[in-house]
Chain A
């Protein structure tokens, strides 16, 4: 009996939903967990849209490419800067319709299809209780004692690993192989993804880890641990952003546009730092949550546009592979 009532209630609830328009948002896998930004974004948007926002998580690019025209997505959130070229080539996306000049990114952004909603930079993170003299430049890092062990991610399987390879390429250009050769003896190991690397670092197996400039923020604000620092290099740090795109074939174009507006709103932008542990894309530093402006960030930012990246990427990865395989 109780079961029957639950079923009836569920049916009624479904019927009620059917009347409210549904905005289907494809998001990266981490997005909708209760500690991710998803639930807050959903609550925030539903307050103003008179609609039902439904996240559908998974492996974004493979899923979009496999589904093609049959995709149920109205909006896709979480496409990283390294896949925008591929996403653009699908022809599935419409212009985002927002004013790029409202963005507060450290680089110029003129893409009218993919709209960044957060950003960060690659950085090597260390524990100041374990390292006496942290490197203060990339050259310093390469000259470090070989006993200091770093763990990085594989550029063939991870976006942060790929960003590192492009970072080295941007700083050292034709001498990238020499830079890798100097770094090689310090590299403890290479992991498939960021999580495994970071785990090795927090477990004390490695002294430094390739991560993001925003990583110390998590330890500071969520754990009150002030010993984890990002080494900031004057040569510059590689820029990474996550973007949101509107699907051209959406049956909810107004809602999709409203969502794009919401992404640029102060409400959305202020929840990004602590929900996503990254920097907001359209919020002046003065409005960042308390303490965030004190986070050490690089003066110089490096970034390859998608066309430039397409030219150098394959060779940069091969240089990495060949040098580290010796």
Chain B
């Protein structure tokens, strides 16, 4: 509390300026809490083979659908595989798709949107009309159609996400670039003979990315959920590779007796989303100062 109130007083005393003088302003505590959660997930994913008590693919039909016990902390699934080990290994593909599925569209969209906003004219027209076309389709239908055409798998999912999700980033950064581009310090940069590329990169871009940084963590959650949804529909990661969404789907028939089969992977997804949301909200608060 004290950290936040001090920061608020500091913010009130100085003119606020979007991401402006972010120096000296303390990061809100929730960012660190969120970072801790996300870091835990990353560590688990990286060290999965060391942490997981069993081979996630090893079947034990005799012991199928076992309740949690000291041997299997979260029980076993319908093929007798250890649920905890599968959850741990699933974090690898889910985090990979989450991070890349947000980062790739963010990079593509930010570059296109920044160029569109900065250059204006026909460049802007072409880029924004393409984004209109993409946006005219319902997102999930489009993703499903693309993955269906490209065939299931991590690569096609990432390609589909990138081709569709860049639009949001492009619009986000373009609006900011349009605002920043008309400010005096950009005019000053032009008047002092700096090249357009340098002006965009050094003067416009750093003052335009704030909103994108806020949006990015929540989009990682979105990508993870998107993968889970695709797997749930059978278009995502294919059996037997463990994946949270696929595990939720696989546990459905047993929801009355072995309710933990679907619920625990769901909670794992929620926990990851919570960590990222805390980071996103914290960054937003930070950029407002």
Is chain B found bound to chain A in the same assembly? no
Chain A residues close to B by CB (< 8 Å): none
